[in-house]
Amino acid sequence: MSLRTWARLALPAFAMALGCGDSSGPTYVTPPTPGGPELADAAPAEAASADAPTLHDGGPAPESDSGSPASDARVDVQGVPEAGADVQSVPDAGADACGPVEICANGIDDNCNGLTDCDDPACPSDQCLVVPSGWQPVAFETKPLANALDPCPANATTSIDLYGQDVSGASYTCSCGCGTVQAASCTGTATVRYAAGDSTCGSNIVIDQIPVADNACWGPYGGFVVPNNTYWYAEADPIQHNAAVCSSSVGSSPPPLTGTTARACNIAADRGACAGGECAAKPGGAYKACVMHTGSVAGPSGYSCQSMFTSYNDYRTCPDATLCGCQDTLGCSNVQGVTYYEGTNCTGGSPSTGVPFWFGNQCQSSGANGGSMHSAMPSITESGSSQCSGVPSLASVGGVSLGGSQYTICCP
């Protein structure tokens, strides 16, 4: 018989012995020794009363109402029914503690359904978290990177914003801009040679040197006499190409980054115990209760884990503007000839014919139309453009990398 069962049976008898027996004094009842024999197996009542001391005032032992000695009261107490069906049917004290309602967060299975606190469906506002050593319970929310994160729940403390390993940025097109600060030009000197009577121009002298500047008119100068029936030719002097001075720039509109951002808010798992873990209040809203650990580590079994970082670096950019290749495309030929004019601004021909004298790269006669010339225009061929241009666009370079501190977040 358990001590608790003994107490339930013995105490009423003990109270009767104190209140209903002879007034000569109480009789003490000896509880069973833990681990000892059950009272039902003890010696007969008479033998027990003979050996057990009874408290009285020193005179003869008072008798009970039945006329028996006071020791009979002890016999009555110890003579409770043997441990059997009646005794075993007394409800256990633990069963008396069960109630209809589970009290959440007290660590007790109040309704005796085998489920404690947040394990019990009666506590829907809490959930069980496995929180291994070194892990921190957190309220955790994830959203697309372009969206704003929600404030932490009311029961949370400090927070940290995180970025997923899927954060990335697409490449894009950088437009090139080319400006002309100074146009390109073709410059040099045209040399004209003269032979008085040699139709092959084998014996000749330099008679004139005319500046060349993009087929511009040169003059006026003092009367340059072209005698009749003389022989002339213009040398095919090379002409200098003077490159344009260009400005270059690149413009861009990078597309936004894509990926996942998150916020982890520290919470406490202080709402009781559950099977294999601790109870935490459900954060509510878009947040859920999870656990977090610094670095990249394995999470609790059965939990879904991801690794995230506290920052990212978008180092996408456009290449250097010089790669736009801004330059002119002007081409300059050698001197192809010189035309002499009677007028001062490259107008009018010889006084006799009105036709300008043209001396090319081959020896030729002035004929009988000589005269005094006052301006000249060297002849060259220009191709392309003197203005700056380049490629219309360039592809961006670089990419996106994650940085800062790394964390592992695991959610049930």
Tell me the HSE value of 110 on the side-chain side, using a 13 A CA sphere. Answer: 17
**Greater pLDDT, 32 or 48:** 32
Give the integer Cα–Cα distance in Å for 209 and 193: 9
What pLDDT score does 1 carry? 44
Q: What is the DSSP string of 59-109?
A: SSPPB-TTS-BTHHHHHHHHTPPPSSHHHHTSPPHHHHH--SS--TTSSS-
* Amino acid 203: pLDDT: 81
Half-sphere exposure of 353 (CA within 13 A, CB side): 14
Residue 78 pLDDT class (50, 70, 90 cuts) = very low
Separation CA 358–CA 356 (nearest Å) = 6
What's the pLDDT band for 284 if we cut at 50, 70, 90? confident
Judged against a pLDDT cut of 50, whether residue 380 lies above it is answered with: yes
pLDDT of residue 368: 76
Report pLDDT for 357: 82
In this structure, which amino acid lies at residue 347? T
List pLDDT tens digits, range 334-351: 999 999 888 888 887 655
Work out the number of other CB atoms within 10 angstroms of the CB of residue 105. 16
Distance CA 87, CA 91 (A): 9
* Residue among 166, 167, 163, 165 at smallest CA distance from 263: 163
Interval 233-258 mean pLDDT: 95
Of residues 81 and 289, the one with the higher pLDDT is: 289
Question: Model confidence over 170-209: pLDDT tens digits?
Answer: 999 999 999 999 999 999 999 999 888 888 888 888 888 8
Mean pLDDT of 272-290: 88
The pLDDT score that the predictor gives to residue 325 is 96
What is the identity of the amino acid at 344? T
- Cβ neighbour number for residue 324 with a 10 Å cutoff: 25
Which residues have C-beta within 8 Å of that of residue 383, sequence separation ≥ 6? 329, 330, 331, 333
Query: In which residue are the tokens 């109480």 written?
Result: 26
- Contact indicator for 375, 220 with CB cutoff of 8 Å: yes
Mean pLDDT is lowest, of 145-149, 170-174, 290-294, 347-351, for: 347-351
214-228, 263-277, 350-364, range with greatest mean pLDDT: 263-277
| Number of CB atoms found within 10 A of residue 11's CB | 12
Contacts of 250 (CB under 8 A, 6+ apart): 174, 175, 176, 177, 318, 319, 321, 324, 394
Residue with tokens 């104190």: 18
Torsional sign, CA 112, 113, 119, 120:
negative
Q: pLDDT at position 24, please?
A: 44
Per the omega criterion (within 30 degrees of 0), is the bond before 220 cis? yes
- Biggest CA–CA distance in the chain, Å, is 185
Question: What are the φ/ψ torsions at residue 156 (nearest 5 degrees)?
Answer: -100, 160
- For residue 379, the model assigns a pLDDT of 93
Distance CA 31, CA 136 (A): 52
Q: What whole-number percentage of the chain has pLDDT above 90?
A: 47
pLDDT of residue 144: 97
Q: What percent of the chain has pLDDT over 70?
A: 75
Lowest-confidence region among 129-133, 307-311, 344-348: 344-348
pLDDT tens digit string along 312-328?
Answer: 999 999 999 999 999 99
User: What's the count of helices (H) and strands (E) in the chain, helices before strands?
Assistant: 5, 24
By three-state DSSP, how is residue 181 classified? Answer: strand
- Measured in whole angstroms, how far is the alpha carbon of residue 60 from the centre of its chain? 96
Q: What angle do CA 143, 145, 146 make, to 5 degrees?
A: 105
What is the spatial distance between Cα 102 and Cα 272, in angstroms, rounded to a whole number?
A: 12
Tokens describing residue 307: 């690794």
Burial of residue 336 (CB within 10 Å: 0-12, 13-18, 19+) is middle
Of 314, 311, 327, the residue nearest 390 (C-alpha): 327
On the question of pLDDT at 9 being above 50, the answer is: no
> Is the confidence at residue 233, as pLDDT, over 60?
yes
pLDDT of residue 354: 61
The reported pLDDT for the residue numbered 351 is: 56
Higher-confidence position of 109 and 26: 109
Question: Phi, psi at residue 91, to the nearest 5°?
Answer: -60, 140
**Between 13 and 222, the higher pLDDT residue:** 222
Mean pLDDT over all residues of the chain? 79
More confidently predicted of 149 and 118: 149
Residue 32 to residue 48: CA distance in whole angstroms: 13
